[in-house]
Amino acid sequence: MVTIATANVNGIRAAYRNGMGEWLAQRTPEILLLQEVRATDEILEGLLGEGWNSVHQACDIKGRAGVAIATTLPFKAVRVGLGNGEPEVPVDTGRWVEADIELPTGETITVVSVYIHSGTAGTPKMDQKFAHLEKVDARMRELLESGAHVVVGGDVNIAHQNVDIKNWKGNLKSAGFLPEERAYLDRWFEAGWVDLGRRHGGEGPGPYTWWSNRGQSFANDAGWRIDYQLVSPALAELASNVHVDRADSYEARWSDHAPLLADYAL
């Protein structure tokens, strides 16, 4: 089995101060997809320690975004960003990194760590999100057409259906739940991508992966399911033990997101 975990760490330095290192030692995934790293390569590598290979795209805007892939397995190739060889606009940096990883069997798996803009409805930030989603959409098509085993994991910042957000009625006009955003997920699933969190999580509501720090959102499980492992069809059939690793209490969390893990029979 190969275990893949994806986690928005909400700042990796703070996450490690709050217990992420202990969690990682207990869960021991072979592949770790990280979002909102908000640190340098050197800081990331220092926190992970020996035994990890990593590729990281920091955001050009200090203190924002940042995505990484860390693995105990060898890299065969890495690709950073969605600029197709051209510089990306700063707000799009730190949001997409992919790697081909060599498995113990000699096979290869392609993994992506993705962090899509949160957006704010009715503002230029929403235009930036949709512009970036168009680039993501094009790459998702290419990856699916490649026929490779692919996992696109991370914080997509879009809840797909009513069961993916506790207060869906109150968020129909909110970024992260707009019909135009949800349509991208519809398109990906119709094309063949498999949403492991929903396939293995039942009909819902939930299981959620992010909770606001306001009020009693975590205690009341008033969350959003916005962290995904989107998987190519053949690989999805090899997945098991897919689960949201929700902390036992608010105090035990090391991020405002919970990790999503899956085992793959590879």
Query: Can you give the pLDDT of all 266 residues of the chain as single tens digits?
Result: 999 999 999 999 999 999 999 999 999 999 999 999 999 999 999 999 999 999 999 999 999 999 999 999 999 999 999 998 888 999 999 999 999 999 999 999 999 999 999 999 999 999 999 999 999 999 999 999 999 999 999 999 999 999 999 999 999 999 999 999 999 999 999 999 999 999 999 999 999 999 998 889 999 999 999 999 999 999 999 999 999 999 999 999 999 999 999 999 99
**Residues carrying an active site annotation:** 115, 155, 257
Q: Which superfamily, per CATH, for 2-264? A: Endonuclease/exonuclease/phosphatase (3.60.10.10)
8 annotated as a binding-site residue: yes
What is the domain partition of the chain in residue ranges? 2-264
What pLDDT is recorded for position 157?
Answer: 98
Q: What are phi and psi of 11, to 5 degrees?
A: 95, 105
Residue pair 136/96 in contact by the 8 Å Cβ criterion: yes
CB 81 within 8 A of CB 121: no
Tell me what pLDDT residue 137 has: 98
Which three-class secondary structure state does DSSP give residue 48? helix
Please report, as a single letter, which amino acid is at residue 137: D
Per-residue confidence (pLDDT) for residue 245, from 0 to 100: 98
Name which of 223, 259, 228 is nearest 244 in CA terms.
259
36 is in an annotated binding site: yes
How far, in whole angstroms, is CA 36 from its chain's centroid? Answer: 10
Is 41 known to sit in a ligand binding site?
Answer: no
Tell whether 137 is in a known binding site. Answer: no
Q: What is the pLDDT of residue 189?
A: 98
For the question of whether the overall pTM of this predicted structure is more than 0.95, the answer is yes
How far is 113 from 67, CA to CA, in rounded Å?
Answer: 6
